[in-house]
Structure 1
């Protein structure tokens, strides 16, 4: 039983490390927000259908 507990604990720790690394690969809302203030990067308004 102790071996199973250690194995599951090791797997969970490894998965947690993967999640931590993946989170830093994507842009956060805070890093994208300043782009919305630049008229060159904004999209034109959508015409009503």
Structure 2
């Protein structure tokens, strides 16, 4: 649900002359995964603090 809005294929076009395609894909994937982990941890922390 959180990753549906970021479509890598639509953002990166073939003709843009990207030199480091694999590196860009790795950093994009790592960024998405880290953001998901951070947001979920913040939501869990908020729920736990409201429960106490």
Q: Give TM-score scaled by structure 2 length.
A: 0.49
Structure that is richer in helix per residue: 2
Alignment gaps of 5+ in structure 2:
1-19
Number of equivalent positions = 31
Alignment gaps of 5+ in structure 1:
33-49
Q: Which has the higher contact order (CA 8 A, sep 6+)?
A: 2
Aligned CA RMSD, in angstroms, stands at 2.2
From the CA coordinates, give the structure whose radius of gyration is larger: 1
Could you list the runs of 4 or more consecutive aligned residues of structure 1 that deviate by over 6 angstroms after TM superposition? none
Q: Give TM-score scaled by structure 1 length.
A: 0.52
